[in-house]
Amino acid sequence: MTGVLPGDELALAGRLFGSRLILGSGKHPIERLTEVVEAGGVEIVTLALRRANLNGPGDILDHLPPGRAILPNTSGARTAKEALTLARLARELGCGDLIKIEVIADSRTLLPDNEETLQAVALLSEDGFAPLAYMTPDPVMGRKMEQAGAAAVMPLGAPIGSNRGLTTKEMVKLMVECLQVPVIVDAGLGRPSQACEAMELGVAAVMVNTAVATSDDPPAMAKAFALAVQAGRAAYLAGLGPVGRPQASSPLTGFLWEEKGSQDPSSQEKF
């Protein structure tokens, strides 16, 4: 179930993906991952390196259907240098060069540290990685990330795990307008309708974890998110019409023509 429109694949660092739903793996029992990934038609699954046991028991690769990409992340890093260490580890483990930078130094909110993240983007792209920058939404910072070599930016919709939806909508919208690289909404989306809303704005993809993992039926919820992502993407491509502004019951400019004997603006007396 990719449902991708012809020619509308997601392009990330030169690779094409049929699905615009990215799934976080951290909050699921690993044995359940195959079923969830298949139900959602997911092609990219993120993996925290600190949790990875690649080539050992509980290796995530044993639980992924074939043809799916792993997007390793640097969670656990508190500084740009630590993110670089983790990225190099990912490369040694054979995860490739696509990597999601997470630099977090606030255990309470788990909000990213944009300043360290920017430095990490520069360090990693110099080192040949294609970094995706998880960040607090900010179009100015997003542009700097892009200039420093980010392959994509990943602004959060709301604090991670909060299921609040696109509380950062205005900033995300500005990022979509201002940046050339793909904008992927990561964190905070709790409902398929919120993912749809993000896609309608023109973001390239969305990432979810908690909302699927903690649902009563994770495969069904993954499918629901996939459908919402497709609907939002289709709506964005179709071009949303003007929405919601009511017509005034009498024309606001009617006064211009209401004076006695002047029905036609061209006949109005000129001063």
Partner 1 sequence: MPHISFQEAIDAALAFDFQAVGSRQVARSLERETLSLEDLGALLSPAAAENLEDLAARSRDLTLRHFGLNVTLFTPLYLANHCVNHCLYCGFSALGDIRRGALTESDVDQELAAIEVTGLEDVLLLTGDSRARSGPEYIFRCAALAAKRLKKVGLEVYPLSIREYSRARDAGVDYVCVYQETYEPNLYAHVHLKGPKRNYAWRLAAPERALAAGVRGVGLGALLGLGDFRRDVLALGWHALYLSRLHPQAEISFSVPRLRPAPGHVVFQQSPVSEAELAQIIMALRIFMPWAGISLSTRERPFFRDHLVGLGATRLSAGVRTSVGGHSGPDHGEEQFFKSDPRNVPQVCQALAQMGFQAVFNDYIRL
* Contacts of the segment 125-128: beta carbons below 8 A, 24+ positions apart: 125/149, 125/150, 127/84, 127/87, 127/88, 128/97
CB nearer to partner 1: give 83 or 175.
83
If one asks whether residue 147 binds partner 1 (CB under 8 A), the answer comes out as no
For residue 223, give the 3-state DSSP assignment.
helix
CB of residue 106 to partner 1, shortest distance in Å? 5
Residue among 27, 100, 144, 173 flagged as catalytic = 100
CB of residue 53 to partner 1, shortest distance in Å? 7
CB nearer to partner 1: give 81 or 169.
81
> Is 100 a residue of the active site?
yes
If one asks whether residue 119 binds partner 1 (CB under 8 A), the answer comes out as no
- With CB under 8 A as the contact rule, the residue among 11, 16, 105, 256 that binds partner 1 is 105
- With CB under 8 A as the contact rule, the residue among 1, 11, 16, 53 that binds partner 1 is 53
- Residues 9 and 121: their CA atoms lie apart, in Å, by 25
CB of residue 111 to partner 1, shortest distance in Å? 10
**Across the beta sheet with 21-24, what order do the strands follow?**
152-155, 130-135, 98-101, 69-73, 44-48, 21-24, 205-208, 184-186
Residue 21's H or E segment, with its range, is: strand 21-24
- Residues 172 and 154: their CA atoms lie apart, in Å, by 10
If one asks whether residue 92 binds partner 1 (CB under 8 A), the answer comes out as no
Active site residues: 100
